[in-house]
Structure 1
């Protein structure tokens, strides 16, 4: 019975617990989004560097 009373007190409206749940939800939403965004940035940057900034192939000397 005492355990039930303690659990009920812990589960009451606690603004700090609500804030923790909210921040956890934001972290769960933004972490994968930012990781995938960073990976996409590096992939596009690497493609741009190798596609548009590559030097032309050297031509063999003519005799």
Structure 2
């Protein structure tokens, strides 16, 4: 019974560690997605500025 309890505790610790690792990965992915969205917005704004400049020249 004690051995089974130790095994269950070890399994619970492994599951908790895996959950923390998955949560950290999700946070990293969310941060990367935010960074990509910010870069996309910056590039779109730059493109709009360039198009505005070209329209002014014509």
TM-score where L is the length of structure 1: 0.56
Q: Which has the larger radius of gyration?
A: 1
Shift of 1:19: 3.1
Structure 2 CA distance for aligned equivalents of residues 59 and 48 of structure 1? 20
TM-score where L is the length of structure 2: 0.60
Root mean square deviation, CA, Å: 3.1
Paired residues in the alignment total 53
Query: Where do 5+ consecutive residues of structure 2 fail to align?
Result: none
Query: Where do 5+ consecutive residues of structure 1 fail to align?
Result: none
